[in-house]
């Protein structure tokens, strides 16, 4: 059995177990509700609504609510010096179709809805990244002084000799130019 559902000004063909992205709906994450704006129910005996099918409902679960990917909006008029650059992220709601019912006859799915809280997952990733960065910094600081001390110990005697020779040459040049 399938149904054609209208929501957010668009139409979607759904079956039990499908996941669809629709315009943002004011529903809580993980909530279960019925869509009643059904235009057609298909299957063994299809029913077409005039304009909607009576006694039909599609039970859905909200699995995700967030913003879509960034879309670039670029406007330009040739030879006029007119260019506008903007971006846009559209809000959406992801729905899992749990069941379709018509006049008491219901077709369900055996698959469970996987609810994802995108904002919570994002905060966890940020926190994990900052903890990882804090742990990495002390290890680098501890490693650098050991390497630096070894380099300085090997390079110090050579630098002093070279510096002393340069100083002698500089004073010798000054004396010759003053005479």
Domains of the chain by residue range: 2-116, 117-167
Q: b/e per residue, 18-35, with b = 16+ CB within 10 A?
A: bbbebeebeeebeeeeeb
Task: Write out pLDDT tens, residues 112-168.
Answer: 999 999 999 999 999 999 888 888 766 556 555 656 656 666 665 555 555 666 666
User: Which pLDDT score is estimated for 89?
Assistant: 97
The residues pairing with 61 across neighbouring beta strands, listed in sequence order, are 32, 96
The CA R_g of the chain, rounded to the nearest whole Å, is 35
SS3 163: helix
The residues pairing with 93 across neighbouring beta strands, listed in sequence order, are 22, 65
| pLDDT above 90 for 79 | yes
How many whole angstroms separate alpha carbon 110 and alpha carbon 98? 8
Q: What percent of the chain lies above the pLDDT cut of 70?
A: 76
Q: Which pTM value belongs to this model? A: 0.69
- pLDDT, mean of residues 167-171: 64
| pLDDT above 80 for 40 | yes
Mean pLDDT of the chain: 86
Which region holds residue 168: left if phi is over 0, alpha if psi is between -120 and 50, else beta? Answer: alpha
Structure tokens at 89: 């992220």
User: Which pLDDT score is estimated for 58?
Assistant: 97
The residues pairing with 96 across neighbouring beta strands, listed in sequence order, are 19, 61
- Count helices and strands (H / E) in the chain: 1, 11
Task: Write out pLDDT tens, residues 82-113.
Answer: 999 999 999 999 999 999 999 989 999 999 99
Task: List own/partner pairs for 33-36 with CB under 8 A and 24 or more apart.
Answer: 33/59, 33/60, 33/62, 34/58, 34/59, 34/60, 35/5, 35/7, 35/60
Going from the C-alpha of 165 to that of each of 53, 153, 156, the distances in angstroms are 99, 20, 15
User: Which pLDDT score is estimated for 76?
Assistant: 98
């Amino acid at each position: 059995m399938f149904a054609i559902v209208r929501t957010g000004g668009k139409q979607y063909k759904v079956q039990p177990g499908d996941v669809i992205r629709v315009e943002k709906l004011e529903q809580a994450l993980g909530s279960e509700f019925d869509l009643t704006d059904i235009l057609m129910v298909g299957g063994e005996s299809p029913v077409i609504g005039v304009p909607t099918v009576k006694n039909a409902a599609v039970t859905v679960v909200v699995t995700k609510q967030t913003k879509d990917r960034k879309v670039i909006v670029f406007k330009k008029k040739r030879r006029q010096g007119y260019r506008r650059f903007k971006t846009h992220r559209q809000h959406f709601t992801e729905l899992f179709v749990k069941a379709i019912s018509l006049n008491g006859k219901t077709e369900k799915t055996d698959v469970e809805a996987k609810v994802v809280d995108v904002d919570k997952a994002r905060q966890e990733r940020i926190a994990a990244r900052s903890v990882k960065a804090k742990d990495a910094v002390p290890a680098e600081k501890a490693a650098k002084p050991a390497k630096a001390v070894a380099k300085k110990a090997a390079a110090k005697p050579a630098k002093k000799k070279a510096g002393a020779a340069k100083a002698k040459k500089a004073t010798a040049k000054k004396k010759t130019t003053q005479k």
